[in-house]
Amino acid sequence: MRKLAVVMLTLLLLILVVLPAKEIRDTIERPLYSADVIFDPAQRSLSAKLNYKLPPGDYEQIVFTVYANAYEQGINGIFVFPQFKERVFYQGESLGSVAVSDVRVNGVLADFVLVGTALTIMPRSNVLSNRPVEVTMDYTVTVPKISHRNGSNKDAVWAGNWLPLLAVREGQTWLTYPYYPAGDPFHNQVADFTINIEVPPGYTLVGPGVLHKTNSTFTVVAKNIREFAIAIGPAYTQAVRTSRQGVELSFYTYNAPPNTVNSLLDELEDMIDYFTAEVGPYSYPSLRFVQTGWFLGGMEYPGVVLLSDATLQNYYSVRSTMLHELAHQWFYAIIGNNQVTDSWIDEGLATFFQQRYLQGSELDSHYAKERMALAPLLKTHPDVRLGQSLDIYTDWSHYYRVNYRRSSLMQYDLFKLMGADKYRLFTQSLYAEYKDSELDKNGLIRLASEAYGQNLESWFYPWFND
């Protein structure tokens, strides 16, 4: 009897040891980010207590990407081409800054180093590979007075790249990149966010996902997003409606013409129907366009789009920009890709869908003119082709010609080769297979071949080699 009791006790202990580990291992599929943040408009700063819960894994080191640290050098930083510095720094020199302290892994103080955009954390004790990992830190970011992805003017402060994000890892290699001036030099995986941000009375906060306000604190809950962009200001006016699919659509502006905003909301519903039919459903509960001093037309983030002051003053300009940034909600936000090494994927698809919607029956004529106009321009840089990293570009114009225009032309030619029905099957298969993950060249070619019914590797070859 005593022997049986010992056996039963041993089995019970094994169950208690083994089952909880599996239970915990299965509870977290993607990173969970939470934070309590205080916004100080006088200092243009966001001071935060950050908490990250990471899925089980091998964490001898843990690396975060801190894009905001790129602004510490001000006008001498590499994040903007010289041709744009006068526009970005129109208010004069202004530095951003980042401060990190009290970094802990599972409650134990950890060593860390921040170099460029990479924050590398070295745990002082072993981290169990079969359990989720908790990382906490104190963090303050100061937003510069510039017209960039992080920036401010007299009406608002906006920050597309303020929050440290867990770097993507391939095998044992953490992928981090400099803040290149070409393109959108980001590569992020999806995560779930619950962020509380305290703002002064009378201020409005714009962010992704679901927003709740209690007194002066906004709680933002956003799931399956790659980046967490916000804008804060005392003068925002909101125009909002619910789409036919149940998505909250809104514009936050401080000096845009009301008629323009209402017309944009009208057409936005039709645009979402278009992408839903051609690619797949919009997968976030809200989509918010927000006016900022961003120096180009628009800048996309999951569920949030920054629009420039100048763009919002012209209906046709903002309509085209809105459509392009809307396309990015599918191509990069929902269907991800590495925007440093494969920027041609999301930019080419977004540009082609933008032109297909805008041009309508004139699509063939548009791309015939585009092909003729682009050919001599590409000859000025014969060694630059699709599929190359952002570090090769020395000016914006040639980056744009290759990754927007030439990649868009490739999608047009593929569309003409396949026909509308097979091309739709192709883009819907991108959505089905790569929603919330990352698409690369091999995946794109494979799914295009499957939709067409024939291997297209030889068809794609010249686009990446000539």
Same domain, 230 and 316: yes
d(CA 78, CA 82): 9
Domain shared by 306 and 379, yes or no: no
Number of neighbouring beta carbons within 10 Å of residue 8: 10
Q: For residue range 341-350, list pLDDT tens digits in order.
A: 999 999 999 9
Q: What pLDDT shows up at residue 6?
A: 44
Does one domain contain both 278 and 172? no
Across the chain, mean pLDDT equals: 93
Give residue-wise pLDDT tens across range 362-372. 999 999 999 99
**Would 196 be classed as within a structural domain?**
no
Q: Angle at which helices 258-278 and 420-434 pack, to 10 degrees?
A: 90
pLDDT at 208 over 70: yes
CA distances from 270 to 178, 193, 251, 280, 326 (A): 38, 29, 16, 14, 12
Asked whether residue 286 falls in the same domain as residue 318, the answer is yes
Please tell me the total count of domains within the chain. Answer: 3
Per-residue pLDDT at 383:
82
Rounded CA-CA distance 395/405 in Å is 15
Report the pLDDT value the prediction gives residue 21, as an integer from 0 to 100. Answer: 39
Task: Kindly report the CATH number assigned to the domain that includes residue 177.
Answer: 2.60.40
Spatial distance between the Cα atoms of 188 and 67, rounded to a whole number of angstroms: 11
- This model's pTM is above 0.85: yes
C-alpha to C-alpha distance for 180 and 292, rounded to whole angstroms: 22
Domain shared by 44 and 184, yes or no: yes
Domain endpoint, select from 189, 222, 243: 189
pLDDT of residue 19: 42
Using CB atoms within 10 A of its CB, is residue 358 exposed (0-12), middle (13-18) or buried (19+)?
middle
Q: What is the pLDDT of residues 140-166, one digit of tens each?
A: 999 999 999 999 999 999 999 999 999
17 within domain boundaries: no
182, 217: one domain: no
From 299, 333, 367, the end of a domain falls on 333
Position 7 in a domain: no
Please report the pLDDT score of residue 241 as a whole number.
94
Q: For residue range 57-70, what is the model confidence (pLDDT) as tens digits?
A: 889 999 999 999 99
Inform me whether the pLDDT recorded for 7 exceeds 90: no
pLDDT attached to residue 450: 98
Judge if 433 and 324 occupy the same domain: no
What band does 289 get if pLDDT is binned at 50, 70 and 90?
very high
Range of the domain at 170: 34-189
CB 300 within 8 A of CB 290: no
411 or 244, which is more confident = 411
Residue 134 Cα to chain centre, angstroms: 23
Asked if residue 209 and residue 315 are part of one domain, the reply reads: yes
Give which of 417, 371, 409 is closest to 426, Cα–Cα.
417
- Cβ neighbours of 29 (radius 10 Å): 9
3-state secondary structure of 385: coil
Confidence of residue 381 (pLDDT cuts 50, 70, 90): confident
C-beta separation of 220 from 193 below 8 A: yes
Q: Is the pLDDT of residue 272 over 60?
A: yes
Asked whether the beta carbons of 249 and 268 are under 8 A apart, the reply is yes
> Hey, how many other C-beta atoms are within 10 angstroms of the C-beta on 277?
11
Same domain, yes or no, for 132 and 273? no
Q: How far is CA 148 from CA 138, 228, 230, 273, in A?
A: 25, 16, 13, 31
pLDDT-above-70 percentage for the chain: 94
Average pLDDT over residues 387-412: 95
Q: Are residues 101 and 217 in the same domain?
A: no
Whether 3 is covered by a domain: the verdict is no
Residue 394 has pLDDT above 60, yes or no: yes
Is residue 338 in a domain? no
| Residues 268, 366 within the same domain | no
Which phi and psi (to 5°) does residue 113 adopt?
-145, 135
pLDDT digits (tens, 9 = 90+) for 232-241: 999 999 999 9
Domain of 449, CATH number, reads 1.10.390.10
Q: Which two tokens stand for residue 379?
A: 């000859």
Give the end of a domain, one of 132, 161, 189: 189
Segment 425-436 mean pLDDT:
98
DSSP lists the bridge partners of residue 438 as 336
Residue 29 has a pLDDT of: 87
Comparing C-alpha atoms, which of 67, 46, 89, 42 is closest to residue 207?
46
Residues 6+ apart with CB under 8 A from 95: 71, 72, 73, 74, 142, 144
137 and 100 Cβ atoms separated by less than 8 Å: yes
Within this chain, do residues 225 and 323 fall inside the same structural domain, yes or no? yes
For residue 453, the one-letter residue type is G
Query: Strands (DSSP E) along 21-153, which ranges?
Result: 32-40, 45-54, 62-65, 97-105, 108-109, 111-115, 118-122, 133-142, 150-152
CA distance 356 to 373: 18
Give the amino acid at 440: D
Domain assignment of residue 25, yes or no: no
